[in-house]
């Protein structure tokens, strides 16, 4: 059989051979075939190694969503379907994937393609529209490769970074650059702003959103999120430490699966180190297991833990009543403690008492009385926010009053957390590190406007305690 030069070229390339082409005056081609050359150490650079390690945990996301035509076009055309694309990162071997919320928002069918070419339909598990993060899940019978996670707390301006993603639909595109700046606040639209972003000149294009920003060691140190329209060499990523705090809240087993462990934890310090217990809820499974504030948890079951996200991952999909062994270090001594997950519905009495306590804390800390806004409000507004807390009363001498917050405003976000439900407020005001934040940016809906720029100065703990005592 006779083959054209193009057909022969395809056959030779498919065979994995090294091919050199010489152009002859007659317009024909001369092919010289040689064995594939050995890859030198110089070519196997740190960038190549980082990409090879991370790529199996990076997925492409496609889907269709309905987009309404702009009112200023003067047309009455029906809403149209548009194809969306983005990227995600596998954070748990059972198929849990972290991405941007805007990648999967309003998508009817989320299609996920793995690095090996397999395609799955994903389910949206949880999202935080304020932080623009979401967790989706694909069904899998075998463990999937998981990204190696670094930290964003020690990033240096000028250090090398690598972006992976589905840029313009070109899967697993690799770009390289440096950290251009840290701590950038960016508003990309009337309904979306970001705080404390990493700025990079690694090319980030449409479709890169939700993909990992890597350091030269191949660790994820950010989640690619935005580009600056009209600019070249300016892209942004959410710091991984912030992203994983949000992911831990999204995968919290109490919110997601109505299970209760009763622990509030924080990273103990060094990356890969143990997880420190900050608070143990009274009469909780953790309390019954003998866990105490100050304990350092190294492992839960077979899962090593160093972040709050690891704790929630270790609890996910576990049946109520299952006992998990916690490997704990206390006062330089190691011990094993057994914790049995309980159902949240068994906490009704405790929850009512806790709700009263948290309502008081919100009033004392911020000067706000809150109630849940009906979901229909957000459907009418056609907003990406999935819920919010209506402000019923503002204390005259409070941080909220000083920032111009008014009754009737709807609180949709605070600092790095959404405030869609009363449980979200309870989570925020019960955080042991809340007073350390000093100032908390808030996000409000007022009429048809979204307000971003105010800050709540949190009252010192002593002042809160004094107010609480005076109300008794």
Residues in the chain: 472
Complete DSSP assignment for 312-343:
HHHHTTPPTT-EEEEEEEETTEEEEEEEE-EE
Phi, psi angles (nearest 5°) of residue 460: -60, 155
On the CB side of 368, CA atoms within 13 Å amount to 30
Instruction: Give the residues across from 371 on adjacent strands.
Output: 390
CB distance 370 to 389 below 8 Å: yes
CB distance 200 to 178 below 8 Å: yes
Report helix, strand or coil for 6: helix
Rounded-to-integer distance, Cα 306 and Cα 248, Å: 12
Tokens of 240: 């991984």
Report helix, strand or coil for 13: helix
Instruction: Give the residues across from 259 on adjacent strands.
Output: 343
The one catalytic residue in 102, 115, 261, 295 is: 102
The owner of tokens 């623009």 is 132
Rounded-to-integer distance, Cα 229 and Cα 188, Å: 9
State yes or no: is 102 an active-site residue.
yes
The one catalytic residue in 115, 132, 242, 424 is: 132
Instruction: Give the residues across from 393 on adjacent strands.
Output: 369
Triad 93, 120, 135: Cα angle to 5°: 55
Rounded-to-integer distance, Cα 388 and Cα 390, Å: 7
With CA atoms as reference, report the closest residue to 303 among 295, 292, 314, 289.
314
State yes or no: is 209 an active-site residue.
yes
The one catalytic residue in 60, 193, 203, 209 is: 209
State yes or no: is 3 an active-site residue.
no
Q: Active-site residue numbers? A: 102, 132, 209
């Amino acid at each position: 059989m006779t083959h054209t030069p193009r057909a022969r070229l395809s056959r030779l390339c498919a065979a994995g051979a090294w091919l050199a082409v010489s152009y002859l005056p007659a317009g024909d081609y001369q092919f010289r075939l040689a064995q594939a050359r050995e890859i030198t150490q110089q070519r196997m650079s740190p960038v190549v190694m980082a990409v090879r390690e991370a790529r199996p945990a990076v997925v492409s996301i496609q889907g269709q969503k309905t987009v309404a035509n702009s009112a200023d076009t003067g047309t009455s055309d029906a809403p149209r379907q548009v194809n969306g694309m983005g990227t995600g990162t596998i954070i748990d071997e059972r198929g849990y994937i972290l991405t941007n919320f805007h990648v999967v928002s309003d998508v009817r069918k989320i299609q996920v393609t793995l690095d090996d070419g397999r395609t799955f339909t994903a389910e949206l598990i949880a999202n935080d529209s304020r932080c623009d993060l979401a967790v989706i899940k694909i069904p899998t019978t075998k463990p999937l490769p998981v990204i190696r996670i670094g930290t964003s707390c020690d990033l240096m301006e000028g250090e090398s970074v690598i972006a992976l993603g589905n840029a313009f639909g070109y899967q697993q595109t690799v770009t390289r650059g440096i950290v251009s700046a840290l701590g950038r606040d960016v508003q990309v639209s009337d309904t979306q702003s970001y705080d404390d972003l990493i700025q990079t000149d690694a090319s980030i294009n449409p479709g890169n959103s939700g993909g990992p920003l890597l350091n030269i060691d191949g660790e994820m140190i950010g989640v690619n999120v935005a580009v600056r329209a009209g600019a070249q060499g300016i892209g942004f990523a959410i710091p991984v430490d912030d992203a994983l705090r949000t992911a831990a809240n999204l995968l919290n087993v109490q919110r997601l699966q109505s299970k209760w462990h009763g622990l509030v934890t924080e990273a103990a310090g060094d990356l890969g180190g143990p997880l420190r217990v900050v608070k143990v809820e009274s009469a909780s499974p953790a309390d019954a297991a003998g866990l105490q504030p100050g304990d350092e948890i190294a492992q839960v079951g077979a899962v090593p833990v160093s972040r709050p996200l690891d704790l929630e991952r270790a609890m996910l999909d576990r049946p109520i009543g299952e006992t998990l062994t916690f490997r704990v270090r206390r006062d330089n001594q190691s011990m094993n403690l057994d914790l049995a997950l309980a159902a949240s519905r068994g906490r009704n009495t405790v929850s009512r008492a806790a709700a009263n306590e948290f309502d008081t804390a919100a009033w004392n800390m911020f000067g706000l009385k809150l109630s849940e806004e009906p979901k229909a409000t957000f459907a009418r507004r056609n907003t990406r926010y999935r819920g919010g807390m209506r402000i019923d009363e503002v204390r005259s001498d409070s941080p909220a009053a000083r920032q111009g917050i008014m009754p009737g405003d709807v609180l949709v976000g605070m600092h790095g957390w959404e405030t869609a439900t009363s449980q979200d407020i309870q989570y925020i005001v019960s955080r042991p590190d809340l007073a350390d934040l000093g100032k908390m940016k808030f996000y409000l809906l007022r009429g048809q406007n979204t307000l971003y720029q105010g800050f709540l100065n949190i009252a010192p703990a002593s002042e809160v305690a004094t107010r609480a005592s005076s109300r008794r």
